[in-house]
Amino acid sequence: MAFTTTMLSWSSLEYGKRMGPELANARAAIRWATDYLLKCATATPGKLYVGVGDPNVDHKCWERPEDMDTSRTVYSVSASSPGSDVAGETAAALAAASMVFRKVDRKYSGLLLRTARKVFQFAMQYQGAYSDSLGSAVCPFYCSYSGYKDELLWGAAWMFRATNEMSYYKILKSMGADNQPDLFSWDNKYAGAHVLLSRRALLNNDKNFEQFEGAAENFMCRILPNSPYKTTQYTQGGLMYKLPESNLQYVTAITFLLTTYAKYMKSTKHTFNCGNLLVTPNSLLYVAKRQVDYILGENPIGMSYMVGFGPNFPKRIHHRGSSLPSLTSHPQAIGCDGGFQPFFYSANPNPNILTGAIVGGPNQNDGYPDQRSDYSHSEPATYITAAMVGPLSYFAGTLN
């Protein structure tokens, strides 16, 4: 949820001018999340609440949110059971959102930034992974596979962007830019931090940030399909293919970095090289637009992976509220097990259309079975959609 909020905030900061009337909707969505994150960070001194509900118990039920009757266990991190990863991301979300509200609600913006400072300080002071502190409450569902150093870098990058204070700059410099993976996701923030920090090098011509510019360009060289340093697979239909579980989360997040870095390059007429390949802003935008178009239906099976968009989209998504009848049509309660037969296992389309959701996406052969039980392909997630807002705004704004 925090990563979703950071990405929606980054989208609004970077592409707000292209969003038109949708900017107000983006702000409303961000505020819905930051109200919750503020509560998580301030309800109990010395604690950051990070989750509600035992995932192992909740996953066993297929019921509507209105009928939920599983215990609402609350999980938190603290000095004695640290969680630098979840705290670093929460600080990033609060800091990024503070900039979104700076001109429209100064008081709220100030509260977000003050809270971000405290949460980031906690992340730095008590270092450890929340997976180690909370165990089966977060694993294997949202285990911190990449560790927490990437969230400390990402958190510090957002704190620096929001405050311009030297203390955060020193943290960034001490962490460096040596970790250079070839993906970007809710779990692994290095590439996002490098692109965010490269903005300083490109737009402000600040030599102190050149190492992050270099790291961002190494990342692009590992993504571009015609780069000699490519480590990224593409399907026959042209989709970036990173991992079999919910692949589109990587596609939308990486596409966000492609359009954003291209935007920085364009404004300074910057180019770079991947070996003997000259990379221009349009090289990045071409790949980014190809990914966006694929997700929206330009693919071998003509399937839009955004629910409700286009003539052909996923009809049986892995989503409780979408797949179960509404209270209006079925006022009686549906218990924990009551939703499996006849709803979960039904071949019928979901009764409620979750408009705008993006699912996990096709398999590596560009196929999509559209089955509710096939959660690694048919499950939507807020962080898949949030990262798509930037690229969609960019291309919508370029078409006008």
Q: Report the C-alpha gap between 260 and 273 in whole angstroms.
A: 18
CB 267 within 8 A of CB 203: yes
Q: What is the pLDDT of residues 66-92, one digit of tens each?
A: 999 999 999 999 999 999 999 999 999
Tokens representing 185?
């996701």
CA dist 112 → 103, 125, 302 (Å):
13, 20, 43
pLDDT band at 399 (very low <50, low <70, confident <90, very high): low
Tokens representing 62?
């297929």
CB 189 within 8 A of CB 150: yes
Q: Report the C-alpha gap between 150 and 185 in whole angstroms.
A: 11
pLDDT at 400 over 90: no
Nearest to 180 by CA among 217, 152, 206: 217
The residues annotated as belonging to the active site are 318
Q: How many CA atoms lie within 13 A of 298 on its CB side?
A: 7
**pLDDT value for 83:** 98
**pLDDT value for 328:** 96
Q: Report the C-alpha gap between 356 and 8 in whole angstroms.
A: 14
CB 261 within 8 A of CB 198: yes
Which residue type does 185 have? S
**pLDDT value for 381:** 98
Beta strand 47-52 pairing with 74-78:
antiparallel
CB 289 within 8 A of CB 228: no
Average pLDDT over residues 46-57: 95
Q: Report the C-alpha gap between 39 and 105 in whole angstroms.
A: 18
Q: What is the pLDDT of residues 7-16, one digit of tens each?
A: 999 999 999 9
For the chain, give the percent of residues with pLDDT over 70.
100
Which residue type does 391 have? P
Quickly list DSSP for 141-206. Answer: TT--TT-SHHHHHHHHHHHHHHH--HHHHHHHHHH-S----S---SS--HHHHHHHHHHHHHHS--
Tokens representing 201?
């090098």
Q: What is the pLDDT of residues 271-314, one digit of tens each?
A: 999 999 999 999 999 999 999 999 999 999 999 999 999 999 99
Average pLDDT over residues 219-229: 98
Q: How far is CA 45 from the centre of its chain?
A: 28
**pLDDT value for 397:** 79
Task: Tell me, letter by letter, the H, E, C secondary structure of 45-110.
Answer: CCEEEEEECCHHHHHCCCCCHHHCCCCCCEEEEECCCCCHHHHHHHHHHHHHHHHHCCCCCHHHHH
For the chain, give the percent of residues with pLDDT over 90.
99
Q: Report the C-alpha gap between 174 and 310 in whole angstroms.
A: 48
Q: Could you tell me where the DSSP H helices lie in 2-54?
A: 2-19, 22-42
Average pLDDT over residues 220-239: 98
Mean of all residue pLDDT scores within the chain: 97
Full-model pTM: 0.97
Q: What is the pLDDT of residues 106-164, one digit of tens each?
A: 999 999 999 999 999 999 999 999 999 999 999 999 999 999 999 999 999 999 999 99
Tokens representing 29?
């969505």
